[in-house]
Structure 1
Amino acid sequence: MHLVCEPDNEITLKLPHITLAGRLWGSPDKPLLLALHGWLDNANSFEPLSHYLADYQILAIDWPGHGGSQHRPGAYPLHWVDYLYDLDALLGVLETQPVAMIGHSLGGIIASAYAAAFPDNVARLVLIEALSPLYESETKSKTRLQNSFIGHRRFLATQDKPVNIYRDIAIAANARHKLTALDLQWCELLTQRNMQNLDSGVCWRSDPRLKLDSPLRLTFSQVDALMQAHTVNTLLISGSGGFPQLREAIPMAHRWFERLQTVELDGDHHLHMGNAAQVSEAIRDFLTA
């Protein structure tokens, strides 16, 4: 696939099973970095980094159901494993393999799991506030499945109801700011891509199924078996104000990854936006070492 930019750095990527939207920064003669965003975010989350990584071409996709990408067909519950297939299909159609994958949060989880299973397909890996697939005790499996189906039935019953329309994007951005404490400027950047314009205002275009509970989560023993002997050269970037569970898991990460560097930088869970300068410096140092 030859990467052709549309206006405003937009790009469309036709995979065998779905069409993805994304953004592309940098000239085609630069090494390609593939950037994978987090849950309920979109490709815009990597725009701040693009200003500091001018030596690379950055391809940031919208996962299915996010941003401008297609929603998964049907109305069935979603599962994180689906993203692994999306990633594999994307790598299959790219003419140039990326020199590294950069994954934030959910994007990092997907990239890390994919690299564990298919290390020959990943040159280097940068994880931002992410480590491995989520896991929980097998004793919670029945309750999780029940709750997931209850939520999904409720979703199906409300599918035909009119969408909530906002007067303008600022209202939605402020709502996310109050809910997550993410800086307002970054809420605005993310929100504008996850919404669509209507004659009467704006509404969300994200797939509502993204907010439903997954019907199944792996156990620790499954994740442990997957992540053992992780051979891809990896940089793990955590934020000083990010998820404390990630920092607590770093000793486990060193047991899993054969080649792992870790760095903690100032910032919260979205430090690649709020502290893009230091994050990009860490990425450059890692890729050129």
Structure 2
Amino acid sequence: MQLTGGSDNEITLELPHITLAGRLWGSPDKPLLLALHGWLDNADSFLPISEHLADYQILAIDWPGHGGSEHRPGSYPLHWVDYLYDLDAVIEHLFNQFELSPLAIMGHSLGGIIASAYAAAFPERVNQLVLIEALSPLYESESKAKKRLQNSFTDHRRYLAFKTKPASIYRDLSIAANARHKLTALELQWCELLTQRNMQSLDSGVCWRSDPRLKLDSPLRLTFSQVDALMQTHAVNTLLIAGNGGFPQLREAIPIAHRWFSQLQTIELEGNHHLHMGNAVNVADAIKRFLMA
């Protein structure tokens, strides 16, 4: 395998439908671990844990519209299922260029959701799966379908009305990082790390380069019966890592997860939804024990 990054660990993946940016850490003679970040994060969310996974080469992509990756074309609303096609194209690229298949995948939040759904459908493409604060596609009652579609149209109309207006410019990055810190309670140092990659520098300051459509309400969400049918007899060997201060819905769903997955280990560690950043040492230790078992 000769998968190499630039001097700053930056990489570019030219896929058939879009160009993705990312980061690559570790020696090319080590096993590859594909890392998939969460919603509104970017590849740098795996920088802290990469320092404790020296036995692996970690390829962390920026999803479309995040970090340095291209935005999806057009002005249509985004759909979560599109990420499955992105992941399939990444895996196909790695197979064609480097004969890397099946892969070990580490996914946080949205990245874990996408990886889990993909592995459920194509278990032959994924060797081992690590889910960090993630389990399955989100679902809700079918009774909410009309309201969700209405909300999506409201959001999209507002987006179209404002998309031609100049982007908001911040004097410096710290203002945007502090805003995210106050909104999400994510530690300030991690907000600064993530914000830096999601912004671009201008003569007058900095502005977001993330796709604004990422913040629009989804037009459609699956029902539980649909997710249940997808996840049944999930065959990929999987580790689920939950934070004791993370999303409580995830911890409550662990009994369902054991019914879905034929090979599942679960562990709860100290930390919030981004425990792979704030508790990188212990999360990395759990991942190493799982991957080397």
Residue 67 (1) aligns with residue 71 (2): no
- Answering whether residue 280 of structure 2 is matched by residue 272 of structure 1, we say no
Q: SS of the residue aligned with 2:24?
A: strand
- Distance of 1:237 and 1:259 partners within structure 2: 14
Secondary structure class of the residue paired with 2:176: helix
Preserved CA contact (<8 Å) 1:31 1:99: no
Structure 2 spans left out of the alignment, 5+ residues: none
CA distance, structure 1, for counterparts of residue 102 and residue 240 of structure 2: 18
User: Residue 137 of structure 2 aligns with which residue?
Assistant: 133
Post-superposition Cα deviations, 1:172-209, rounded to whole Å, max 9, x if no partner, equal 00000000000000000000000000000000000000
CA RMSD, aligned part only?
0.9
Residue equivalent to 2:78: 78
In the alignment, the residues of structure 2 paired with residue 90 and residue 97 of structure 1 have an alpha-carbon distance, to the nearest angstrom, of 11
Secondary structure of the residue aligned to 2:60 is strand
CA contact (8 A) 1:108 1:130 kept: yes
**1:175-214 equivalent positions in 2, closer than 5 A:** 175-214=179-218
Taking the aligned partners of 1:7 and 1:18, their CA distance within structure 2 comes to 23
2:34 is matched with 34
How does 1:5-16 map onto structure 2 within 5 Å?
5-16=5-16
SS at match of 1:8: coil
Q: State the Cα distance separating 1:4 from its structure 2 match.
A: 2.9
CA contact (8 A) 1:20 1:61 kept: yes
The amino acid of 2:272's aligned partner reads D
1:7 Cα offset (Å): 2.6
Aligned length, in residue pairs: 289
Q: How far did residue 3 of structure 1 move?
A: 2.6
Report what 2:46 is aligned to.
46
Distance 1:103 1:228 in 2: 20
Report the residue type matching 1:33 in the other structure. Answer: L
In structure 2, distance between residues paired with 1:35 and 1:105: 11
CA distance in 1, matches of 2:219, 2:213: 12
Q: Secondary structure at the match of 2:8?
A: helix
Equivalent AA in structure 2 for residue 67 of structure 1? G
Aligned to 1:149: 153
How far apart, in 2, do the equivalents of 1:229 and 1:132 lie?
13
Q: Which of 112, 119, 130 is the aligned partner of 1:115? A: 119
CA distance in 1, matches of 2:20, 2:153: 27
Matched, 1:87 2:87: yes
What's the CA shift for 1:100?
1.0
Q: TM-score, normalization: structure 1? A: 0.99
1 CA distance for matches of 2:279 and 2:103? 23
Q: Could you tell me how far apart the structure 2 residues matched to 1:6 and 1:208 are?
A: 29
Task: Provide the C-alpha distance between the structure 1 equivalents of 2:130 and 2:43, rounded to a whole number of angstroms.
Answer: 16
User: For residue 250 of structure 1, what is the aligned residue in structure 2?
Assistant: 254
Q: 1:45 corresponds to which letter in structure 2? A: S
The answer on whether the counterparts of 2:102 and 2:124 sit within 8 Å (CA) in structure 1 is: no
Could you tell me how far apart the structure 1 residues matched to 2:215 and 2:263 are? 34
Q: C-alpha displacement at 1:99, in angstroms?
A: 4.0
In 2, Cα distance between the equivalents of 1:69 and 1:140?
33
Is the 8 Å Cα contact of residues 243 and 270 (structure 2) preserved in structure 1? Answer: yes
Identity of aligned residues (%): 80
* Counterpart AA for 1:105: S
Distance 1:2 1:215, change over 3 A: farther
Give the superposition deviation at 1:146. Answer: 1.1
Alpha-carbon distance between aligned partners in 1 of 2:122 and 2:103, rounded to the nearest angstrom: 15
**Does the 8 Å CA contact 2:103/2:125 hold for their aligned counterparts?**
no
Q: Using the TM superposition, give the Cα deviation of residue 119 of structure 1 relative to its aligned residue in structure 2, in angstroms.
A: 0.3
Q: Is the 8 A contact 1:197 1:203 kept in 2?
A: yes
Conserved in 2, the CA contact under 8 Å of 1:33 and 1:98?
Answer: no
d(CA) in 2 for partners of 1:88, 1:182: 30
One-letter amino acid matched to 1:186: W
What SS does the corresponding residue of 1:13 show, helix, strand or coil?
Answer: strand
Amino acid at match of 1:279: V
Deviation, 1:264, is 0.3
SS of structure 2 residue aligned to 1:251? helix
SS in 2 for 1:140: helix
